[in-house]
Amino acid sequence: MSDSLKKGAVKLLTIRLVGKALAFFLFMLLARQMTVSSYGELMYLFSLIAIFTVISPLGLDVLILRRANTFIAEKQYGNAKGLYQFSSRISLLVGSVLAVLMIVGLEVTNGIGNVSREMIIGIYAIITLTGYMAIRRNFLLSLKKSIAAELPETVIRPILAIIIILFVVAFNDTSLSASQVMLIVAVSWIVVTVSGKLWFDQQVTPLFSRPAKYQTHTWIMSGMPIMVTTLGFTSMAEIDIIILANMSSVEDSAVYSVAVRYMQLFSLPLGVMQSISASSLALYHQRKKASSFSALASKLSKISFLIAIPIFITLLLFSDIFLALFGDDYIKGSVVLLILAFMATLNAWFGSTGYSLTMTGRQMTLAKLILLALAVNIILDVILIPIMGIEGAAIATFISTVGWNVVAILYIKNKLGYLIVWLPFRKYGEVN
């Protein structure tokens, strides 16, 4: 891994570690200031919102990581500007429509009872703005501007939400409701979006002095498979919470969501390194540097796996203590936590399966794998949740997630010639 890549990874990892700690504290604070049923209702809403927000940028947020860096390296500044502007406008438009659809859907299905005015504001703000913010962030990441990319959403937003919640709690003797939290989140989203946009303009002004050029059809056609894949990934992460709320209870959704919160610790190191190295993987593939591609991907696998092992051992030994931080009602999720933690450890070793397929233009293959895995997950959820409850949901996710990763690794090795997992006794080439 090059020195610049290491510096970028360390910088981004530091910011995301701080952001992850703040987000963790925020959700722990919410769990303690809300009843289990209210927290479960909030997690149910957040899971639905997460799925809708993936659709809004139509995959263009991920496409920017691949294309913007290449455009700028080749001095095609007009194309870089056009890609950003087109992606931002599409995301805001589609996000607005999706927000309305979700609000109407909740009203019609009566999924959470009465949809309050605060919930409507929160849903609309989050779904409309999240895709736009992701496009801004990824464009800056492609320029290696990690601080400007991550600081507003990753650090400032949770700090602002925590401050508002603490202020509300100080003057409120009753538990927080899901409606109140949705309004608080909406306020923090809006403030951070505006401030992030102002900061973004300062970072890219020299690049955006050129006239914009648009390749709208090409971008849309390239982005749609990515959107389908990302939708599959997000649905895999959120579907258990949604199905538990409908087939079991919102209380079970709350407990399960806390276990998922800990599982996300495993994905942080690999996610940071993937964000930094995504454009490098794409360039190695484009230039047919198979040894460099395999060397970089295997190093990502090695580092993330070695970080994941101590996290897994810690959770294995002290699962009840960690879950009790959210409240005694969440301790019953200890078995779920261990199942998901073991799965996440394996995922860390599997490495950059999704990124390797995406950065080599195999978006459709990845999309098919993820959609198949999602279908398996849903079927297993429907079978296992009535029998085993939240543990059944965890087993369903374990089987479907490990399954698609193994298939992807074999495909990448056999079809592309890249070995992306770390094997201790195998020698890899140098990254150059």
In a domain, 60, yes or no: yes
pLDDT in tens, 229-259: 788 888 988 999 999 988 888 899 999 999 9
Do residues 178 and 202 make contact, with C-beta atoms less than 8 angstroms apart? no
HSE, side-chain direction, 13 A CA sphere, residue 242 = 16
Query: Does 220 reside within a domain?
Result: no
- Mean pLDDT of the chain, nearest integer: 83
The secondary structure of 302-318 as a DSSP string is HHHHHHHHHHHHHHHHH
Residues 68 and 189 reside in one and the same domain:
yes
Residue 108, domain member (yes or no): yes
| Tens-level pLDDT at each residue, the chain (432 residues) | 455 555 656 676 778 788 888 988 999 999 999 999 899 999 999 999 999 998 989 888 888 877 777 777 777 777 778 888 888 899 999 999 999 999 888 888 776 667 788 888 999 999 999 888 888 888 887 777 777 778 888 888 999 999 999 999 888 878 888 889 999 989 998 998 888 777 777 766 666 666 667 788 888 888 887 788 788 888 988 999 999 988 888 899 999 999 988 887 777 666 666 666 666 676 666 666 667 777 777 788 788 888 888 888 998 899 899 999 998 889 999 999 999 999 989 988 887 787 788 777 787 888 888 899 999 999 999 999 999 999 999 999 999 999 999 999 998 888 888 887 877 766 655 555
405 contacts 420 by C-beta, under 8 angstroms:
no
Shared domain check, 209 and 73:
yes
Of 214, 241, 258, which marks where a domain is finished?
214
Burial class (CB in 10 A: 0-12, 13-18, 19+), 207: middle
Do 210 and 330 reside in the same domain of the chain? no
Q: Which domain holds residue 149?
A: 1-214
Do 206 and 232 belong together in one domain? Answer: no
Same domain, 109 and 176: yes
**Do residues 363 and 396 share a domain?**
yes
CA–CA distances in Å: residue 405 to residues 41, 142, 241, 338, 401: 31, 26, 22, 19, 6
Dist. CA 122–CA 100, nearest whole Å: 12
Position 219 in a domain = no
Based on the domain organization, do 261 and 190 belong to the same domain? no
186/241 same-domain check = no
Where a domain ends, among 183, 214, 245? 214
Flag whether 431 is in a domain.
no
Query: Does 187 share its domain with 323?
Result: no
Answer yes or no: do 21 and 54 share one domain.
yes
Examine the domain organization and report whether 195 and 275 are in the same domain: no
pLDDT tens by residue, 88-135? 899 999 999 999 999 888 888 776 667 788 888 999 999 999 888 888
* Residue 430 located in a structural domain: no
The two three-digit tokens of residue 32, written as one number: 């303690």
Domain identity same for 298 and 206 = no
The answer to whether residue 323 sits within a structural domain is yes
Which residue, of 152, 184, 214, is where some domain finishes? Answer: 214
Residue 339 lies in a domain: yes
Q: What is the largest CA-CA distance in the chain?
A: 63
251 neighbors 40 (Cβ within 8 angstroms): yes
Percent of the chain at pLDDT exceeding 90: 29
Total domains present in the chain: 2
Query: Could you tell me the CA-to-CA distances from 299 to 109, 353, 422 in Å, in that order?
Result: 48, 13, 7
CB atoms within 10 A of CB 337: 26
**How far is the C-alpha of 163 from the C-alpha of 213, rounded, in Å?**
42
